[in-house]
Amino acid sequence: MPLATITEAGKEILLLDYRGCNEHQMLQLLSEAKEWLEQQEQPSLLLSVFNDHNYATGAFMKMVVSNNQQLDKKIKKQAVVGLNAVKKMILKGFNYLIKRNVRAFDTQPQAIAFLLDEDTTDRDLPEYLH
């Protein structure tokens, strides 16, 4: 089930599970997530999960950037799991484009801890993103 919500510590997190998805499936998942976010009254926490079997294609990245720009006020904080070194570099470019500091984590529990921590944000841009 690629798009799901999970509840941790009483907070709902939108889980976008891209593992094993091809480009078409990834774009479909993004569309579903956009529709879900548009229906939410409060800003949401997002967790995206990848693995080495999916790729950040041009079409995918274009749609991710567009959705983030359109839905900025609907997204409270984002985290990503399962990125290799190349995908982490792509994430830096993505952060530059959307002016956020979406974090990459090695494990889902680490990412969830970040999302739940009220003392953290993904809007604290490092100097190199200014």
**pLDDT for the residue 125:** 82
Helix (H, G, I), strand (E, B) or coil at 56: coil
- Angle (nearest 5°) at CA 95 between 6 and 117: 40
pLDDT values of the chain reduced to their tens digit, one per residue, 130 residues: 578 999 999 999 999 999 999 999 999 999 999 999 999 999 999 999 999 888 889 999 999 999 999 999 999 999 999 999 999 999 998 999 899 999 999 999 999 999 999 999 999 988 876 7
Cβ(70)–Cβ(103) under 8 Å? no
Q: Cα-flanking dihedrals φ and ψ of residue 70, to 5°?
A: -70, -35
Cβ(16)–Cβ(25) under 8 Å? no
73-98 pLDDT, tens digit per residue, is: 999 999 999 999 999 999 998 999 89
Helices marked H in the chain — which ranges? 23-39, 58-70, 85-98, 108-116
What's this model's pTM, rounded to 2 decimal places?
Answer: 0.92
Structure-token pair, residue 40 = 């939410």
**What is the distance between the alpha carbons of residues 33 and 89, in angstroms, rounded to a whole number?**
24
Domains observed in the chain: 3-129 (3.30.750.24)
Place of tokens 């790729």: 55
Q: What does DSSP say about strands 103-105 and 75-81: parallel, antiparallel, or unpaired?
A: parallel
